[in-house]
Every structure is written in C-alpha cells, then in structure tokens.
Amino acid sequence: MFNTQYNIPRPELENRFQKLQLHMNENNIDGTLIMQNTDLYYFSGTAQQGQLYIPAKGTPLLMIQKDLERAAAESLLDNIFPISSPSRIPECMQQNGMDIPRRLGLELDVLPTALYFKMQQLFPKTEILDISGAIRLIRAVKSDWELAIIEDAARLADQVAEDAGQFIREGIPEIELAGKIEANARRLGHQGIIRMRLWGSELFYGHLMAGESAAVPSYLSSPTGGAGVSTAIAQGPGHRPIQRNEPILVDYVFALRGYLADHTRIFSIGELSKDLMAGYEAMLNIQEMVKKIAVPGTGAGDVYEAAIQKAAELGYADNFMGTGENRIRFIGHGVGLELDEFPFLAKNQKLKLQKNMVIALEPKLIFPGKGVVGIENTHVVTENGLYQLTRFNEKMTIL
C-alpha cells in the first residue's frame, strides 16, 4: 500500500544520527528534538507528522501523530510510537526509559516562535539550545547513497533542458511555455515540491522568463526575478509572449526522491546580439575558473571573491549577479534535500569546502531592459575541484 521502494537504508540513518550524537557529546548537549519536515526525513526516513528525539547516547525515539502505520513502513528506525499530540513528548520519552534532558537542541533557525514557547512549557527545567547549525553542516556533506540520487536528478534535469526546445515558439506566453516544460518534468518523475529552508522563500519548479522580463528584480534571493502572474507571486514567468532574438532563461530544479539538481540553460529564437553572446561566454569562463579553485579546504567566501574579481577583469562588474541595489552577493549555493543548503559561495562566508559537498554554481549577468545570460550546473566538491553532474550542452541553443 505504501511506496517503500526507496526507503533510506538503516546504515545511512545510523551514520547520520551518530554524527549528530558526536556533536552533542562534544558540546554537552543531552538530546535533540527534530521537528522540521526535511530534517525529520533526513534523520528518520519519514516525513509523517511527528517528532524525533535523538539522545546523546542510545537509540532515537520517533513519535508519530499521523500516520503511524505509514511512518512504520517508511522508517527503518526501531523505536516508533504513537502520541496524540506534541504535549505527550516528555511522557513518551520517560515511558521509553529516557531522561528529561538538561540541555536540549532544537532547530531554532526554522522553529516557529509559538512552538518554541510550547517546548519551554513542556521542558521547564531544560536549557534550550540551537542545534540547526550542526544539522546543516552534517547534511552539507553527502554520502555515496545521496550522491547517487542527486546524479539521477541531474540526469533528469539535463533531459528537461534537452526537451525544452520542442516547446519554445515565438508568441507563446512565458506561463504557457513554463507549464509545458513543467508538465514534462512531472512526466519524468519530478516530485513537484522544492523545499527551501529560509523563512518566506518559495519556488515552483524554477524560473522560465525571456528578454526584459527575466531581468525584473524580485524579493527572492536570486539574481533573476521575473514579473510573475500577479502581485501575489511577484516572481517567475508571466504573461509576456516569447519573442525572437532575446535570451530565454530556462532555470529549473529537478527534484527526485527528495534530492535536488539545479540547472540553467539559455535558449533563443534566432541569434542574440553580440554583447549578450559575449557575456554568456564570459560566464562560462567564470564557471570553469571556479570549478578549478573550489577544492576542499578553500573558504566559500574566497571562491566568491575570486569570481567577483574575474567578472570585473572581463568587464562585467556592473552586471554580475544583478545590478545596483538588487545585486545578489553569492555565486552558488549548496543543494540537497533543500535548495538553500550549506555551503554558500557568498560574500564573507568563512565555511571551508569539504569533499562531497554539492554546489549549484550559477554565474549570471543581468542586463535591465534586455535580459539575462548565464549558466548553472550542479557539482560535487572533489579533491580536484568541482565535478559537474549536469552535463547538457552548454552552448547557447539557437532555435
């Protein structure tokens, strides 16, 4: 009845919570209570409504409100119990021989304030600490099992880009073209949900915009914005018809079995102007430079500064990753179960790159009134630099 074909293997789960237990023991934390959907899935193998308590020593306890039967089928953890509400968490812990923690880790970067206050009431004698940074660092370094899924997602992202050309025609509205490309992605197995961690961030499949529309700024932490279909959305494709001789930005995320691959290619009906073509080639140049220097031990912020310097040397300082006050001060971001994972190749970031981190690198140029050109690919950090997973032809596709 339940789809258990792709359950997270038990050794994978054990490796994950043991890394968190190591952090807790090093920092005198007695336990961590996982409540956010993505983290819950990562550490338990199910995203059913519930909470996962991971003690600093011993076996985790998964407490489920809905649906217990499904959670038991999806998660390969041993201790899975029903509870009627989060108010029963301390009672369930004690019934399973667990002490009430003196120091408790919570995901304070995403936890709603009301739920935080609820936890304070449930654990009145417990010191609550932020464990989110440790969780995100653990998740940033992918296992071979995770990398295999991301590689499959990358292959399907390539397929989406390869198929996009058959739907592009002069006069088709952006939103209609987006719908055709997105329907094809769904046919290929796209899960339909793209998870983001930053509060207030949301995305539907990706961005499909053309010409001046792609250069319209938005609230999203992205170099591209888009007019959108209404002020309620204020990003992404709008009703503007696709025209000849303008860059068509096909920037989509493929989501497979929870994991993401981010991907951008530029299309055009007819040739683009020489300045746009030259800008596109410059972005390929920056991508190749970053791929070589982004090795383990390199600071994420140092990679960003090198890209900024290269863009300036190539004559694109005023247009790289945005213009004026709308410039985004990053050139890449981690991807995994969420689109905004560690590391961020961004200004002032001190985090050192590690082997098997996965990064979407996206050097882009924004030309207000004309459009956007650039490239984005998903890569794995290796000892020799970034290994590219998305491999669809990087030459601009002229239709």
Enumerate the domain spans of the chain: 10-138, 141-398
Residues 394 and 376 sit within 8 Å (Cβ to Cβ): no
Largest CA distance in the chain: 71
Query: Does CATH number 3.40.350.10 belong to domain 10-138?
Result: yes
Residues written for the chain: 399
Q: Give the pLDDT of residue 5.
A: 83
Beta sheet of 358-361, edge-to-edge order:
341-346, 330-334, 358-361, 377-382, 385-388
Query: Does CATH number 3.90.230.10 belong to domain 141-398?
Result: yes
Hey, do 10-138 and 141-398 end up sharing a CATH topology, with the first three levels equal? no
d(CA 155, CA 147): 12
Q: Give the pLDDT of residue 4.
A: 77
178-200 in b/e form (b: 16+ CB < 10 A) is bebbbebbeeeebbeebbbbeee
Q: Which residues contact 183 (CB under 8 A, 6 or more apart)?
A: none
d(CA 20, CA 358): 20
Q: Give the pLDDT of residue 48.
A: 97
R_g of the chain, CA atoms, integer Å:
22
First to last CA, the chain: 46
* pLDDT in single tens digits along all 399 residues of the chain: 777 788 999 999 999 999 999 999 999 999 999 999 999 999 999 999 999 999 999 999 999 999 999 999 999 999 999 999 999 999 999 999 999 999 999 999 999 999 999 999 999 999 999 999 999 999 999 999 999 999 999 999 999 999 999 999 999 999 999 999 999 999 999 999 999 999 999 999 999 999 999 999 898 888 888 999 999 999 999 999 999 999 999 999 999 999 999 999 999 999 999 999 999 999 999 999 999 999 999 999 999 999 999 999 999 999 999 999 989 999 999 999 999 999 999 999 999 999 999 999 999 999 999 999 999 999 999 999 999 999 999 999 999
